[in-house]
Chains A and B, each alone.
Chain A
């Protein structure tokens, strides 16, 4: 097994196995038509309600993209972008006021394109202006202060921050709360989850963040991928149980196999 770098074989096996399970889940759902039923996290439903609330109050919804560049934490940013795509489609349809703010120069053009596309798709290309997506600063706390000012100036009614955030997270959440806005958040790292959980009205944690796009779209393909994820989790759970039994009886075969 010298082809694979030593110590990484089991990782490759997992990557391939999990990819296969996700593809199988998609195949089962799209081709065989067995679309799985899923438990919808409250935060996704809340997103829709938040848009409605913004329309009612005539106040804008603020979507924050999170910090950092696409070349690091790429998966998290992709998850955020698919939620952004869903949210902007919603606001465009319902004619809600919408602002997307970003501290990341590389996420800025991506966010701009996605929001513009959503407005075009809803048949309202004029709804998108150069003010809709705002790059405020690449300095973390300058961005944070700029968002606080933006929230006050625009009197936002909802604040969405799902993705990769750092220390600015709780400050912006509390500033929004102070204005009476609904906070919807999501973080996948334990480092940020507590802030999100305490500061938000609705939040996604861990895997839910990566699955958020799937929950939003409700397409068979996306729901199928969720089935694949669940199968992957069952595999991991089974492995933990079997491995524990092995170690309990004094055999480290499984641990050794995982270290291959």
Chain B
């Protein structure tokens, strides 16, 4: 054992607590002093952007809004930029909630969307909440009216002009899963893409992202954004700066801290090995 005097500061406080402190510092400092570093757009993000950009006018797009409040900060940037983009293009949007928190969160995001000449019921419809599960996703693919009878304002679906010709997966040119915390994208692939060949787009949280890469490769998912980083990329593509671009500095700082910690850990280990020899 080393004597007290020889112990480094890290050993005195305990390496765990020292690391906790560093994490706090790396988060708070860039929050106060921002630099505003640029972001590089990845292939998956631009794929999704391009796909939406190239959809013919009046295409129907289904959005499963699955944002759980807890995980939402990760998907917020992409979701907001995505909604801005989707509503900017002349697309018909049918959105339903797959999370009980959805209505509250969506309300916050729609404030940033320029509605312009859009009319509710004619080119966009918001359906109420239905518990997310593979079964409901599957049921919705064949008969939306079997799941929803009214929209979120209580209007029967048959009285909504947009819904006249829409009742199943094949009526849509794209199905977007927004901000889901795991599962929904895969259900969409299995229940909408495989049986009905509807392309899937995903504004994912980054924990789900690597698991979805195989689906992107196979083409089932046309494109996707990677958490807050992808959100920043999408914001720069759409030209609507928001929480994504604001937080890129913190992302950089904390990631670099982790890299630094790993380097220090390995140097420590090498030193130990050498002294053992």
Contact = CB atoms under 8 A, between A and B. Distances in A.
B134 A72 contact: yes
Interface in A156-180: 166-167, 178
Given A141-B70, A166-B182, A178-B16, A7 B134 contact: no
B195 A190 contact: no
Given A72-B134, A191-B208, A191-B211, A7 B182 contact: no
A34 interface: no
A191 B70 contact: no
A189 B211 contact: yes
B194 interface: yes
Nearest to B214: A190
B16 A7 contact: no
Contact of B207 (A7, A140, A141, A191): A191
Nearest to B213: A190
Contacts of A190: 210-211
Nearest to A6: B195
Contacts of B71: 167
Nearest to A191: B211
Given A72-B133, A178-B16, A191-B182, A167 B207 contact: yes
A20 B272 CA distance: 54
A7 B70 contact: no
Interface string A171-203: 000000010000000000111000000000000
Contacts of B207: 167, 191
A222 B134 CA distance: 30
Contacts of A72: 133-134
Contacts of A167: 71, 181, 207
Interface residues of A, number: 11
Main SS class of interface, A: loop
Interface string B158-185: 0000000000000000000000011000
Contacts of B210: 190-191
A190 B71 CA distance: 19
A135 to B, nearest CB: 21
Given A141-B70, A166-B182, A178-B16, A7 B208 contact: no
Interface string B200-214: 000000011011000
Contacts of A189: 211
Nearest to A189: B211
Interface in B53-93: 70-71
Contacts of B211: 189-191
Nearest to B211: A191
A7 B133 contact: no
A246 to B, nearest CB: 18
Contacts of A141: 70
A67 B125 CA distance: 34
Interface string B4-16: 0000000000001
Contacts of B181: 166-167
Contacts of A7: 194-195
B225 to A, nearest CB: 17
A7 B190 CA distance: 12
Contacts of A191: 182, 207-208, 210-211
A191 B183 CA distance: 10
A72 B133 CA distance: 8
A155 B54 CA distance: 59
Given A72-B133, A72-B134, A191-B182, 6 more contacts: A140-B70, A166-B181, A166-B182, A189-B211, A190-B210, A191-B208
Interface of B: 16, 70-71, 133-134, 181-182, 194-195, 207-208, 210-211
21 contacts: A5-B195, A7-B194, A7-B195, A72-B133, A72-B134, A140-B70, A141-B70, A166-B181, A166-B182, A167-B71, A167-B181, A167-B207, A178-B16, A189-B211, A190-B210, A190-B211, A191-B182, A191-B207, A191-B208, A191-B210, A191-B211
Kindly list the 9 A-B residue pairs having the minimum CB-CB distance in the complex, ordered from nearest. Answer: A191-B211, A190-B211, A72-B133, A191-B182, A191-B207, A191-B208, A190-B210, A189-B211, A166-B182
